[in-house]
């Protein structure tokens, strides 16, 4: 246990030296080291059970990262390996993007046509229990590990939903999650509808091809870009898709700790839909890259935004491998809209706010009052 205490002290001391927010003077640093040492000593001497040193070390590292923001986290070698191999077909998932809020796992967005979306999981739901395991106190990575498992196996998740007094229990069967990034169709014989569910490496090319197909119909008078329940993805794709609808101006900027790494991206001349009216649908499940597109189009007055306030995830994470073959997910920069406003924890506000009509609401169905309103607006 003495060795364990020394290791933790080295870890804690290193963190203090690297993070100026812990202290501005050396005396305060050493006071905090003394306090940490005292706490460890009490744990070693008086805690009721023997401490698992490995788990305690992981928790100490993870605690530091989670104190920074909801998206930074530590992955043990096993967790990192699982993350890298999750697309091999051996493991299945639920089809949700999740984050942390106040120590609880929060659903950022359920993805279209996945087990979670079909079961009725919604953006903003708080996952409090996975099978019989309480989620409170677990790291985001640990919670995700609990939700993963062999394809075809069942999982029970319990959620708390704002506005509902009782917890909601979902029984879901895990599947291989295959995301169809772009869907399109013509509505009311004259409205081009583009549904984008994620920003993967092929999304912009798919959107471009779908627009070309729709433009063959000469009766098209306007377009709807549906970004609801789109948790985001690649920044490069968000920039390119925004550029499809803009003729000029800044799209987005990122700011890092080092000013030399700050960047701005601008649109090039050429509007793929030839200046026709564009409506963008957003909701609380629209996050990250979705907010970049919606925010840029709104601020340049190129689109009318309809729906609900977006999620407010305006940061960029990088997976950084470690010597122990684990990794950390670390926030390395933040997004800013053309106005200079940050998306983080604020989101993008729609021009016309329309809440989902009822519990029976489903995107792109007869119960979709947000889409119906957009169609009515375009039809005049």
Mean of the pLDDT values across residues 58-81? Answer: 86
Q: Which residues are catalytic?
A: 288, 299, 313
For residues 6 and 95, membership in a common domain is answered with no
pLDDT digits (tens, 9 = 90+) for 153-195: 999 999 999 989 999 999 999 998 877 889 999 999 999 999 9
For residues 157 and 188, membership in a common domain is answered with no
Cβ-contact 181, 206 below 8 angstroms: yes
Residue at a domain's end among 74, 99, 134: 74
Q: What is the pTM of this model?
A: 0.80
For residues 67 and 104, membership in a common domain is answered with no
Cβ-contact 226, 194 below 8 angstroms: yes
Confirm whether 104 is domain-assigned: yes
The span from the CA of 20 to the CA of 18, in Å, is 6
So what's the pLDDT on residue 89?
A: 39
So what's the pLDDT on residue 244?
A: 98
So what's the pLDDT on residue 88?
A: 40
Copy the structure tokens of residue 207.
């959107």
Mean pLDDT of the chain: 88
Mean of the pLDDT values across residues 140-144? Answer: 85
So what's the pLDDT on residue 19?
A: 53
| pLDDT for 249 beyond 60 | yes
For residues 226 and 345, membership in a common domain is answered with yes
**Shortest CA distance to 96 belongs to which of 183, 201, 194, 170?**
170
For residues 155 and 236, membership in a common domain is answered with no
| Number of domains composing the chain | 3
For residues 225 and 124, membership in a common domain is answered with no
Confirm whether 81 is domain-assigned: no
Domain harbouring 140, CATH code = 2.30.42.10
Residue at a domain's end among 173, 203, 225: 173
So what's the pLDDT on residue 24?
A: 57
| pLDDT for 142 beyond 50 | yes
- Of 49 and 9, more confident: 49
- Of 251 and 13, more confident: 251
Residue at a domain's end among 173, 203, 231: 173
Confirm whether 338 is domain-assigned: yes
So what's the pLDDT on residue 84?
A: 65
So what's the pLDDT on residue 209?
A: 96
For residues 190 and 281, membership in a common domain is answered with yes
Q: Which domain holds residue 38?
A: 2-74
Give phi and psi for 93, each to the nearest 5.
-140, -170
Least trusted range by pLDDT, from 111-120, 267-276, 293-302 = 111-120
Coil, helix or strand at residue 7:
helix
């Amino acid at each position: 246990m003495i060795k364990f205490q020394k290791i933790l002290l080295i870890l804690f001391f290193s963190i203090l030296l690297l993070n100026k927010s812990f202290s501005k003077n050396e005396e305060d640093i050493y006071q905090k080291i003394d306090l940490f040492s005292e706490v460890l000593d009490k744990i070693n001497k008086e805690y009721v059970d023997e401490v698992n040193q490995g788990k305690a070390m992981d928790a100490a590292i993870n605690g530091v990262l989670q104190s920074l923001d909801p998206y930074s986290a530590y992955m043990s070698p096993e967790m990192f390996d699982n993350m890298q191999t999750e697309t091999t077909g051996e493991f299945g998932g639920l089809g949700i993007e999740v984050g942390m809020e106040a120590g609880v796992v929060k659903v950022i967005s359920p993805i279209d046509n996945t087990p979670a979306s079909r079961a009725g999981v919604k953006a903003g739901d708080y996952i409090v229990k996975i099978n019989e395991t309480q989620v409170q106190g677990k790291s985001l990575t640990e919670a995700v590990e609990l939700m993963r498992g062999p394809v075809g196996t069942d999982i029970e998740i319990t959620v708390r939903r704002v506005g509902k007094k009782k917890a909601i229990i979902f029984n879901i069967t895990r599947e291989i999650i295959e995301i169809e990034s772009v869907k399109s169709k013509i509505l009311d014989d004259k409205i081009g509808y583009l549904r984008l569910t994620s920003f993967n490496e092929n999304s912009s090319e798919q959107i471009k091809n779908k627009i070309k197909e729709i433009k063959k119909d000469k009766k098209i008078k306007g377009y709807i870009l549906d970004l609801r329940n789109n948790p985001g993805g690649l920044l490069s794709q968000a920039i390119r898709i925004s550029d499809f609808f803009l003729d000029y101006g800044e799209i987005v900027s990122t700011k890092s700790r080092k000013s030399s790494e700050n960047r701005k991206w601008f649109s090039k001349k050429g509007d793929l839909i030839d200046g026709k009216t564009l409506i963008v649908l957003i909701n609380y499940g629209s996050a990250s890259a979705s907010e970049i597109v919606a925010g840029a189009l709104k601020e340049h007055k190129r689109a009318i935004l309809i729906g609900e306030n977006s999620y407010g995830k305006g940061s960029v994470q990088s997976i950084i491998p470690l010597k122990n073959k684990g990794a950390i997910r670390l926030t390395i920069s933040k997004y800013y809209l053309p106005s200079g406003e940050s998306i983080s924890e604020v989101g993008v506000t729609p021009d016309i706010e329309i809440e989902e009509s009822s519990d029976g609401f489903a995107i792109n169905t007869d119960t979709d009052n947000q889409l119906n309103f957009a169609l009515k607006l375009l039809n005049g």
